[in-house]
Chains A and B, each alone.
Chain A
Amino acid sequence: MKISIRNVVVKAVLGAALLGMTPAVFAQSVCLPAPRLLTTMPMGGKAGTQVEITIAGDHLEDAAELSFSDPRLTATRKLDAAGKPEANKYVVSIPADCPVGVYEARVMTRLGMSSSRVFSVGSLTEVTQSKPNTSLATAIELPMNSVCNAVISARAVDHYSFEAKKGQRVIVDCATRGIDSKLDATVIIADAAGRDLLVERRGGVLDFIVPADGKYVIKLHELTYKGGREFYYRLGLWQQPTGTPIVRQPLTKTVNSFSWPPVGLPEKAVLVEAEPNNAGDKAQKISLPCDVAGAFFPAADVDVFEFEAKKGEEWWIEVGSERFGLPTDPSVLVQHVAKTPEGEKLTDVAEFSDIPSPVKVSSNGYAYDGPPYNAGSADVLGKLAIKEDGLHRLQLTDLFGGTRTDARNVYRLVVRKAAPDFALVAWALHMELRNGDRNALSKPLALRGGATMALEVIAIRRDGFDGDIELSMSGLPDGVTATGLKILKGQSRGLLLVSANQNAPRGLASATFVGRAEINGANVSHPVALASMAWPIPDAWGEFPAPRLMADVPVSVSGIDLAPLTIAPQGGGPFEANVGDKLTIPLFMTRRSEFSGATMELRTAGDGIERVPVFNLPLTADQSQAVIDLGALKTQPGNYMIAFYGGAVAKYRHNPEAVGVAEAIKQKAMQDVTTIEAELKKATDEAQAAATEKKAEADKLVADTTARLTAAKAALTAADAQLKQATTTAQPRDIVDIVVSEPIAIKVKAPAK
């Protein structure tokens, strides 16, 4: 009790102190309705088969076509016996040549394309949890070489059984976090009586040599016994020859994997580390440049390499390991080795550990203090400047490897001459909307007409590259444009604005998102990896975000729903001013909703002009203006692209057109009832008057008509309920969300001489 009360008090205090928004914000929810595909059941299928799936999620009303990040995967609506599409059911066709892997599934809705959910394609027999199996007695029998799609309940332990022969090598691999599930699984192999034999709790795989012929049991639960629809899993069970490497079920990629590998790195390393190389006197000789593959194995492994280098040389060292999705923390130490009569004299030359995130990462506290995406890594990337001629020793260790003996913790060490380059990652821009609420983090790129969404783009720069990086997106749906607010020289953050015009039709496209730069006179272009959250998080206090990389960049437009507010520069720009002037930008607001509060605060983004002080925009007028003091900002002559953004509380009506539809249905139902009542009266009268030989026929008509009336009344009741629900849903509700202006071009001119 004490703790929960304390939490409430702390939350209240933080809420009041840190919100920094108008008081009206307190009462509303966060993030306009966004379509989110949250679960599919099953979560995958076998290549070369068709699989029926049921989907569920948020705002999936009117869900239409289901599509995938790979066009080889297709889906059709499942039809009922009458040939009508069944709600939320699809038949997915997986061609035989579809590679084993994870793909993104998503569904088109009236609000645009939903957020995506992993759909796995495998090569084993697919099984679906068919009944509750929370005890030994109700264990589901799993065939060998199969994958079971299942969901765990709270405070439950799922049970499976399998038959195996003595000496068989059996692999049990449970895919969870890597297929977007919230499950931290504990997987246990037990004997037939349910007594634990082998346990895995860290997401690893169970590699089990069967001790005797017979039945075995797999028990599975969440680490803290949480459960529910978000806690799903694919439990793989297969036999494998002894001595062969285990290939686990495919999983999504971590966000920071976007910066690996460096462009042009061959798939296989040139060298392999040669143990024992654990000490200076056993160092492995290498010459620079080099590319070595190795492993942090066994526990407390130290790998030492030696090379000759000359004073003034500059090398770049990069290590990949954590970015492979491994729980490692590589660290590199380079020392100069001088041989003296007393022995070796070692002088530290450089030490490398993490690749820091270029922007502050969220501390996962109650208040939003940065994006919960880490573009940095525990890997290594840095410059080695040789200060003295001679022998150098490079020592590579895993800071997390002191007591862990696991040969799967591999690394790749690259030492190269400078190859300036960059890698980019992006995610939906977030800002503080309400303490503790991270719902808006999992937005799909589904645009309402008249809306602009901003993506935050982060660069990891390699080997000294510090030039501008231009951002662009192409291959967009009709009526959608994208504008990059470039990453400036020496900086790491830019924005990309995606805007749908008010009349943009319903549409979907897989866009191409790239960053371009000039490096050593050559134009270089790289794709921007898109990251997203697996789940919306309404309570950051109780749950931490689960970010991952997406397979593609889907952009869609609702074609029906419109943004509550569009902020656009009048006349389109570019707006010109001289250095040191105050530049006034007239703004035009298109309001399609009422708002809470009379004003909203706007911040400025882009091109070094973000230091414009926060200013208020009226929410009751159609026009306003922004004033930029170029003198105060010391803005130099040139062309700039900026945008304004802030949080506004709209009185949003969700799916108002559903009210009209429901009203029409109800009208028709009422009419049907009236008509059938008249028919029944007529039939009853006729039956009473009917001659004996016609009596049976007339009575049957009365009975049939009575049944039709009952059905019609039921339909009316249903229509009434539908109308009530639609009316309730369409009631204006206060919802806060980010509003981003359309991009604004500025031209700053040098003063006339």
Chain B
Amino acid sequence: MPSLRFHWLSMLLLFVGWSISPLSSLSAADRPMSFTNDVMPVLTKAGCNVGLCHAKAGGGQNGFQLSVLGFEVREDYEHLVHEGRGRRISATEPESSLLLRKASGQMPHGGGIRLSANSEGYNIVREWLQQGAQFSVPNEPHLVSFQVQPNRGTVPMKSQVQLKATAKFSDGSERDVTSLSVYEPNDVAMAEATETGLVKVLDISGKFSVMARYQGRFAVFSASVPLGAPVESLPASKNFVDDLVFANLKELGIPPSAICDDATFLRRVLLDIGGRLPSDEEAKAFLGSTAPDKRDAVIEDLLRSPDYADFFANKWTALLKNRRDDASDIISNFAFYAWVRDSLLANKKYDQFVRELLASTGTVIGNPPVAWYKRVKEPKEQIEDVAQLFLGVRMQCAQCHHHPFERWSQDDYYSLAAFFTQVGRKPSGVRGEDLIFHKRGIAAATNIKSGVALKPAALGDAIPPIPADEDPRLKLADWLSNSSNPFFARALVNRYWKHFFQRGLIEPEDDIRDSNPPTNPELLAALEKHFVASGFDLKELVRTITRSNAYQLSSTPNQHNVVDRQNYSRYYPRRLQAEVMLDAIDRLAGTQTDFANLPPGTRAVALPDNSYNRQSPFLRVFGRPEGESVCECERVQTSSLAQSLHLINAPDIKAKLASASGRAARLSKDTRPPEERVRELYLAAFAREPRSVELQTALGFLSETGTSANDNYQDLIWALINTKEFLFNH
């Protein structure tokens, strides 16, 4: 639900303050006005049919309901013309129509002025009313295609591009519908678009797109904004990732940062693959090694380790809603977590992992992925989660209306839901849990609007008839793992790319659609191809990404790439996740956090479900997700005052620092020279030696009298914890 609410809110924001400006030059009376081709685009552009205004799905203010973005023209006509005792329009006195008086602000209107009097839109509606407010005109053509020109290009920073939108109709006619189309850039930091289709390029280089919409169709203008700086040297290419990242940088003229140093690499890759800081021994051994392939070797070692499985299981179980709502959920949650974790440890191929999840049968103990069906009970929920998580497609809108930015219709939605209609349940011996099995029968789901029972079909791909005896979910799994599937591999590689680079090639990572193109399409395609060719090998994907020099670039910007946020010309630092940070603090403080029911020493990244958030203010403050949503956005990665205060002053942090068996206590009794002790601290916190100035500052601080040695070490550790270098992966 939060995502749906967000969706409406964003739609509202999109249109607030927008109105069609007067365009008196165009006379609408020259031809018969079409409700479909003329009036509805006006109403859509004016934002009448968005969420919190008159959209039916949003409730429809004052009982006036229109289909979202005008996908149901016939219904909209009925609502406008015949509902409300016909008071919304007046064919005899068009300008007295409630429709025009309210929209133009001549009567109080909650939505403000949407159509200024005598604007083009106003005139179109008035003309239509004058002509009798008919639903259709004789020989009315229908829209067959919609284009925007230019559709791609390279544009300089701070320049402008005028888009021209053209509609083609079934009678062969073409119309310039630039002023009737709606424009929406995908990255408002890079470009803005006016209602007349003028694109204003801002001062950030990279790629952006502008989606233009007209009558339920959309077209995209994709632009590349070069920085134009000289790219004189590029790091050596280690694989195709480097080829394509660096080619893009070269094209855009963005010189990349240098390759990061060994300490930064070690800390970064351990945090990204294993969710932990390096141990003192690991850091020493790695920094001291002169082996040419030592970075690759660390990656291999991490991929073999249970740390990889623990950390990625943490990611997947939250997305798969492994949520403890009742104390008795503990068994199914632990079993489900363990299944995910063991699958990752064994490097179960991703398509097989998803197959076992989607088509699971039996009991939770016998077959733990069944627990997913305990959390996600209805076919609708099931397909929405499957689509968003495994296909990167948000289908929620299409349950009630045609997806506004996509090609998905309600038929697509219910055809996908049909795969899950033969999931049988019978009570198990365990209270609150069902046995899941395939219920014999022909799968079909009814489109609530048309009433038509639809057989399973996968996002536009026809599926051969599924006999009653065969589990449709297995057919869905077959479709997913087909090498030509356009969504499955793409969604995963984009999700994993984001894991390592902080930004997906498509953003948000689970909103993949034609109207939201990737910033580096060639790279996305190559990753996808490589992943499919590897047999959906997740470890190979991680290996490919992390071995690349693109991943190993320094986060320190050069004079040119400081504003780059999407082309990976440098590593984008990211605050440590809640669990990772808690483990990191424990590691630095030499303590353990105790978690209910789990063995002492269990890491926070290995927690099986969300229940531990309740007992840990730390995990809550730093945004550990509750498993409510399949969206990674549920994990809060932003900063807050509460976080700062927590790190500075919270009792749990203080207790860790003051622990009698902690690092401060130990170091204060250590007989080694203070320099070595400071070195140990820097190695533990940052996986590097202290710089000279840092060492001197620390030694000076430790030599202060008036406080105990233990207090001094506690304060020093506290200071290290509160550095950005510690709190961020960089």
Contacts and interface: CB of A to CB of B under 8 A. Distances in A.
Interface of A: 3-4, 7, 134, 155-157, 184, 186, 195-196, 198-199, 201-202, 221, 223-226, 300, 302, 327, 329, 331, 333, 351, 363-365, 372, 374, 395, 397, 399-404, 541-542, 544
B418 interface: no
Contacts of A155: 597-600
Interface of B: 304-306, 309, 325-328, 330-331, 334-335, 338-339, 342, 345-346, 355-356, 359-363, 365-368, 424, 427, 429-431, 435, 437-438, 440, 469-471, 473-474, 597-600
Contacts of B600: 155
Contacts of A186: 338
B181 to A, nearest CB: 47
Nearest to A372: B429
B366 to A, nearest CB: 4
Given A195-B304, A201-B338, A300-B474, A400 B367 contact: yes
B335 A404 contact: no
10 contacts: A198-B346, A201-B342, A223-B331, A331-B440, A374-B429, A400-B366, A403-B359, A403-B360, A404-B362, A544-B429
Pick the most buried of A196, A199, A225, A402: most chain B CB atoms within 10 A of its CB.
A402
A594 B115 CA distance: 90
The 6 closest A-B pairs by CB, nearest first: A399-B437, A400-B362, A327-B366, A400-B361, A196-B306, A403-B356
Contact of B345 (A196, A300, A399, A544): A196
Contacts of B346: 198-199
B306 A195 contact: yes
Given A300-B470, A544-B431, 4 more contacts: A3-B325, A201-B342, A400-B435, A542-B328
B438 to A, nearest CB: 6
Contact of B437 (A226, A351, A400): A400
Nearest to B305: A195
Contacts of A329: 361-362, 435, 437
Nearest to B329: A3
A329 B346 CA distance: 27
Contacts of B471: 300, 402
Contacts of A395: 469
A513 B684 CA distance: 71
A333 B342 contact: no
A201 B368 CA distance: 10
A402 B361 contact: yes
A3 B361 contact: no
Given A196-B306, A364-B429, A327 B598 contact: no
A196 B365 CA distance: 21
B367 A224 contact: no
A263 to B, nearest CB: 29
A223 B337 CA distance: 11
B599 A225 contact: yes
A302 B469 contact: yes
Given A224-B597, A225-B597, A199 B334 contact: no
A224 B361 contact: no
A693 B334 CA distance: 80
Nearest to B596: A155
A224 B330 contact: yes
B327 A7 contact: yes
Contacts of B339: 201
A202 to B, nearest CB: 6
B340 to A, nearest CB: 12
B343 to A, nearest CB: 10
A329 B366 CA distance: 12
A374 to B, nearest CB: 8
B22 to A, nearest CB: 58
Contact of A402 (B306, B342, B365, B474): B474
A196 B361 CA distance: 27
A156 B328 CA distance: 20
A224 B430 contact: no
A195 B325 CA distance: 32
A450 to B, nearest CB: 36
B338 A402 contact: no
Contacts of B430: 364, 544
A331 B437 CA distance: 11
A378 B236 CA distance: 62
A7 B327 CA distance: 10
B431 A363 contact: yes
Given A331-B440, A400-B367, A401-B361, A199 B342 contact: yes
A318 B473 CA distance: 28
Contacts of B328: 541-542
B538 to A, nearest CB: 17
B598 A184 contact: no
Given A223-B331, A401-B361, A365 B304 contact: no
A327 B327 contact: no
A402 B438 contact: yes
Contacts of B334: 223-224
A284 B599 CA distance: 53
A27 B305 CA distance: 54
A224 B365 CA distance: 12
Given A201-B335, A395-B469, A403 B437 contact: no
B367 A404 contact: yes
Nearest to B338: A201
B120 to A, nearest CB: 57
B149 to A, nearest CB: 49
A7 B328 CA distance: 11
Nearest to A200: B342
Given A195-B305, A363-B431, A202 B365 contact: yes
A402 B359 contact: yes
A4 B328 CA distance: 11
Contacts of B424: 399
B61 to A, nearest CB: 37
B605 to A, nearest CB: 15
A365 B368 CA distance: 22
A327 B363 contact: yes
B331 to A, nearest CB: 6
Nearest to B360: A403
B441 to A, nearest CB: 11
A363 B437 contact: no
A544 B361 CA distance: 21
A224 to B, nearest CB: 5
A537 to B, nearest CB: 13
Given A156-B599, A224-B597, A351 B361 contact: no
A186 B335 CA distance: 10
A186 B305 CA distance: 18
A364 B328 CA distance: 13
A14 to B, nearest CB: 13
A404 B359 CA distance: 10
Contact of B431 (A226, A331, A351, A365): A365
B598 A333 contact: no
B322 to A, nearest CB: 13
A402 B474 CA distance: 7
Given A223-B331, A225-B599, A399 B356 contact: no
